[in-house]
Amino acid sequence: MDWDDLRVFLAVARTESLTGAGKVLRLDPATVGRRIARLEEAMGARLFVKSAQGYRLTEAASRVLIHAEAAETALSAASDALSGHEGLTGQIRIGAPDGCANYLLPQVLATICDENPGLEVQIVALPRVFNLSRREADMAIAVSRPEAGRLTVQKLTDYRLHLAASRSYLERSAPIRTSADLTGHRMVGYIPDMIFDKELDYLAEIGAGGAPLGSNSVSVQLNWLRCGAGVGVVHDFALPSAPELVRVIPEQVQLTRAFWLVRHADDGRIDRLTRFAARLAAGLRAEVARLESLVTTEAYAG
């Protein structure tokens, strides 16, 4: 059995399409299809069933998938062993919610890459849970601890969030002295049916009702607040980048959340990823602490 054909098999299994696999492998879909047909002929079994949803694994293919992923992990581990430990090299893709991706990861990863010139890092900032079994990323940062799947999970750090608004909005709006006063204000938050994790349902937790101004992007929410559109919940680590904002009733409303580093269980044997994860964890903890220490004690006094 040819490893290159198995590599094509894994790409189709993860993307559920010939076109998607072709993009990953930089092959045209017709070539991908021929490679799958060759593998099916060599194995004497059908591997995929085409449906309206894409290419689904057959029962035989599900058994092959376990061994193909094990072979992939073993090859990665062997390559890592041969590369030595002088520095981190190669490409690593990280999935993260966009608050972390925008306000923490760029500076943390820039430092790691400066220390390891042979390293290439990709940040995939998407407001959803990443599927590591499909290898959408080498590792992911989550806002709640996964409870299912063959994963290893490590707590990275706690972080804090507060209500905030721009000075210009607060100067022209009714006073906010308690959380009950929020009912008279325009709230900025997530689109309710696009909240991909219960930990992000901030407004429901503080009893602030709905958000007339909603976005699935933390950055869009922050920019709405910066231009004086309303009141919303903001990560403390994002506040240093938004000097127009001040915290609102911080003694009454404070939320604490955590970031978790999630990896596929098989990747524990790949030393390069383990060393990168350790460096990432240390850098992220330090950066959250640094940015939160910069948050001024200034708060709006209604």
Cα distance between residue 136 and residue 155, in whole Å: 21
Asked whether residue 140 falls in the same domain as residue 284, the answer is yes
Phi, psi (rounded to 5 degrees) for 297: -75, -5
CB 245 within 8 A of CB 299: no
DSSP per-residue codes, 219-253: HHHHHHHHTT--EEEEEGGGGGG-TTEEEESTTT-
Q: What is the mean pLDDT of the chain?
A: 87
Number of residues in the chain: 302
Beta bridge mates, 123: 94
Looking up residue 277, the CATH number of its domain turns out to be 3.40.190.10
Same domain, 150 and 284: yes
Q: Which domain holds residue 48?
A: 3-83
Exposure class string for 47-71: b at 16+ Cβ within 10 A, else e: bbeeeeeebebeeebeebbeebbee
Query: In this structure, are 125 and 251 located in the same domain?
Result: no
The CATH number linked to 37 is 1.10.10.10
Same domain for 217 and 146: no
Q: Nearest 5°: phi and psi at 34? A: -65, -40
Give the Cα-Cα-Cα angle 135, 139, 141 (nearest 5 degrees): 125
Q: Examine the fold and report which residue of 83, 106, 128 is the final residue of a domain before the chain moves on.
A: 83
Model pLDDT for residues 276-291, shown as the tens digit of each residue: 999 999 999 999 999 9
> Do both 178 and 242 map to the same domain?
yes
> 178 and 164 share a domain?
yes
R_g of the chain computed on alpha carbons:
23
Q: Specify whether 150 is located in the same domain as 283.
A: yes
Q: What is the pLDDT of residues 122-143, one digit of tens each?
A: 999 876 666 655 667 889 999 9
Question: Domain boundary at 24, 50, 83, which?
Answer: 83
Identify whether residues 119 and 198 lie together within a single domain: no
Phi, psi (degrees; rounded to nearest 5) at 47: -105, -25
pLDDT tens for residues 162-192? 999 999 999 999 999 999 999 989 999 999 9
Are residues 223 and 177 part of one domain?
A: yes
Do 116 and 133 have their domain in common?
yes
Q: How many CB atoms lie within 10 A of CB 186?
A: 16
Q: Which of these three, 83, 102, 137, is where a domain ends?
A: 83
Whether 111 and 131 map to the same domain: the answer is yes
Q: How many CB atoms neighbour CB 222 within 10 A?
A: 24
- One-letter amino acid for residue 41 of the chain: E
Instruction: Tell whether 192 and 235 lie within a shared domain.
Output: yes
109-126 per-position pLDDT tens digit: 999 999 999 999 999 987
Find the helix packing angle between 105-115 and 271-294, rounded to 10°.
130
| Cβ within 8 Å of residue 283, ≥6 positions away | 108, 109, 111, 112
Number of domains observed in the structure of the chain = 3
pLDDT, one tens digit for every residue, the chain (302 residues) = 667 788 888 888 878 888 888 888 888 888 888 888 888 888 888 888 888 778 888 888 788 777 777 676 666 655 555 555 567 888 899 999 999 999 999 999 999 999 999 999 999 987 666 665 566 788 999 999 988 777 889 999 999 999 999 999 999 999 999 999 999 899 999 999 999 889 999 999 998 888 999 999 999 999 999 999 999 999 999 999 999 999 999 999 999 999 999 988 777 677 888 899 999 999 999 999 999 999 977 777 66
pTM (whole model) above 0.85:
no
pLDDT of residue 288: 95
